[in-house]
């Protein structure tokens, strides 16, 4: 294999750049900022929320975590206000405590701390919509009673749009729907920058190479980023890309579900190009850019690449055995 010094050096330089950003903004090394603190509260809260939804709930689970949430909230509200994260945590604690009460095992010391904190911070636990809820299989089956495969087969990367502009209301709806995607510990690390003014979009697009053949068609542009301040483990160093990818795909499907067209526009760039976009759009240093995506109204007829899929056996390994 030829030793390509230039490529190796560039690769190392880019990894080093990414590593520094992760070290600076995640709390894998030290926790300090507001978002780091919010993330810790969300991780702990999610533990309680998740614990309630297991098939066999272990009574008394999570008491240490519950105390820890109350402690972290004290520190948090000393510097910041009781925001949606605090409300969610309180509502989840309320549900957790009610669950134990109903099972004949009231967690008195946590109940007292929770009630006292709620009183002092003027929090009504129900404000935050947390805890667990009962859902019915029938409701889910009714909601998916359509041919999802057919819908997927009719999604294409669309590179032609009519001049009509997508409305801001539709953009709100699309992003609210995309927010329903799964994400690590419900930390919701993703931010979407939506540009819905044709002139502005046309100024941004030259920064991305993959739209050159259809740039003039594009009137709406989404940019999906992930906030590194929500990650706390070294093992999570790529989690932003994963959550971002999942969000971006859901965004594409939400656009498709509106009867509109979308095309991912890759942000597979080196640090210099990345910095240009960040500077132009004022994307803060703590966010990583996952992808761009164009969107627009469908023409009555238009061409798309067939983009044939690989044979299933190249994609699927369906196993019954494992050597352990």
Ligand X SMILES: Cc1cc2nc3c(=O)[nH]c(=O)nc-3n(C[C@H](O)[C@H](O)[C@H](O)COP(=O)(O)O)c2cc1C
Burial of 191 (0-12, 13-18, 19+ CB in 10 A): middle
Burial of 275 (0-12, 13-18, 19+ CB in 10 A): middle
> Is residue 156 close enough to count as binding ligand X by CB under 6 A?
yes
Two tokens, residue 281: 């759009």
- Considering only 307, 308, 316, 319, the residue that binds ligand X (CB under 6 A) is 307
Subset of residues 18 to 47 that bind ligand X, contact rule: CB under 6 A: none
- Considering only 130, 291, 295, 297, the residue that binds ligand X (CB under 6 A) is 291
CB of 314 to ligand X, least distance (A): 16
CB of 214 to ligand X, least distance (A): 7
> Is residue 289 close enough to count as binding ligand X by CB under 6 A?
no
Grouping H, G, I as helix, E, B as strand and the rest as coil, residue 203 is: helix
* Nearest CB to ligand X, comparing residues 9 and 266: 266
* Nearest CB to ligand X, comparing residues 71 and 151: 151
Grouping H, G, I as helix, E, B as strand and the rest as coil, residue 239 is: helix
CB of 30 to ligand X, least distance (A): 32
Q: Can you tell me which residue has the tokens 């990414």?
A: 18
CB of 222 to ligand X, least distance (A): 12
Two tokens, residue 257: 């579900």
> Is residue 264 close enough to count as binding ligand X by CB under 6 A?
yes
Q: Binding mask 223-262 vs ligand X (x if CB under 6 A, - otherwise)?
A: ----------------------------------------
Closest CA to 189 of 240, 153, 122: 240
Answer whether 14's CB lies under 8 Å from 275's CB: no
Contact range with ligand X by CB under 6 A, out of 34-42, 87-95, 134-142, 263-271: 263-271
* Nearest CB to ligand X, comparing residues 62 and 219: 219
- Considering only 265, 283, 289, 295, the residue that binds ligand X (CB under 6 A) is 265
* Number of residues this chain uses to bind ligand X (CB under 6 A): 12
CB of 320 to ligand X, least distance (A): 31
> Is residue 186 close enough to count as binding ligand X by CB under 6 A?
no
Cα–Cα separations (whole angstroms), residue 200 to 77, 217, 220, 265, 284: 39, 13, 9, 17, 19
At residue 46, what are phi and psi to the nearest 5 degrees? -60, -35
CB of 267 to ligand X, least distance (A): 8
- Considering only 14, 31, 68, 157, the residue that binds ligand X (CB under 6 A) is 157
Answer whether 244's CB lies under 8 Å from 184's CB: no
* Nearest CB to ligand X, comparing residues 255 and 263: 263
Indicate the residue whose CB is closest to ligand X. 210
Distance CA 82, CA 281 (A): 30
> Is residue 210 close enough to count as binding ligand X by CB under 6 A?
yes
69-74-75 Cα angle (round to 5)? 100
* Nearest CB to ligand X, comparing residues 160 and 275: 160
CB of 157 to ligand X, least distance (A): 3
Q: Can you tell me which residue has the tokens 């935050």?
A: 128
Q: How far is CA 117 from the centre of its chain?
A: 30
Distance CA 294, CA 181 (A): 20
* Nearest CB to ligand X, comparing residues 92 and 291: 291
At residue 33, what are phi and psi to the nearest 5 degrees? -75, 170
Which residues of this chain interact with ligand X, rule CB under 6 A? 156-157, 159, 210-211, 263-266, 291, 304, 307
């Amino acid at each position: 294999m030829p030793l390509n010094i230039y490529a190796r050096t560039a690769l190392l330089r880019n990894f080093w750049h990414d590593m520094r950003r992760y070290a600076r903004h995640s709390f894998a090394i030290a926790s300090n900022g507001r978002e780091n603190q919010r993330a810790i509260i969300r991780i702990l809260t999610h533990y309680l929320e998740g614990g309630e939804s297991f098939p066999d709930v272990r009574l008394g689970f999570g008491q240490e975590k519950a105390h820890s949430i109350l402690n972290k909230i004290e520190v948090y509200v000393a510097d910041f206000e009781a925001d949606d994260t605090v409300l969610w945590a309180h509502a989840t604690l309320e549900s957790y405590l009610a669950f134990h009460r109903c099972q004949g095992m009231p967690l008195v010391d946590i109940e007292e701390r929770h009630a006292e904190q709620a009183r002092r911070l003027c929090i009504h636990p129900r404000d935050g919509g947390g805890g667990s809820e009962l859902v019915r299989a029938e409701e889910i089956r009714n909601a998916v009673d359509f041919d999802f495969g057919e819908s997927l087969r009719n999604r294409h990367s669309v590179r032609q749009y009519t001049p009509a502009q997508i409305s801001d209301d539709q953009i709100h709806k699309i992003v609210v729907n995309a927010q329903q995607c799964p994400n690590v510990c419900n930390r919701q690390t993703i931010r979407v920058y939506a540009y819905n003014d044709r002139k502005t979009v046309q100024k941004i697009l030259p920064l991305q190479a993959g739209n050159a053949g259809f740039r003039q068609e594009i009137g709406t542009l989404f940019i999906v980023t992930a906030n590194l301040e929500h990650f706390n483990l070294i093992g999570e160093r790529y989690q932003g890309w994963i959550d971002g990818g999942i969000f971006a795909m859901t965004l594409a499907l939400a656009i498709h579900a509106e009867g509109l067209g979308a095309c991912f526009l890759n942000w597979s760039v080196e640090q210099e190009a990345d910095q240009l976009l960040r500077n132009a759009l004022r994307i803060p240093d703590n966010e990583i850019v996952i992808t761009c995506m164009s969107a627009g109204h469908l023409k009555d007829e238009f061409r798309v690449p067939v983009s044939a899929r690989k044979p299933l056996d190249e994609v699927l390994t369906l196993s019954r055995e494992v050597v352990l």
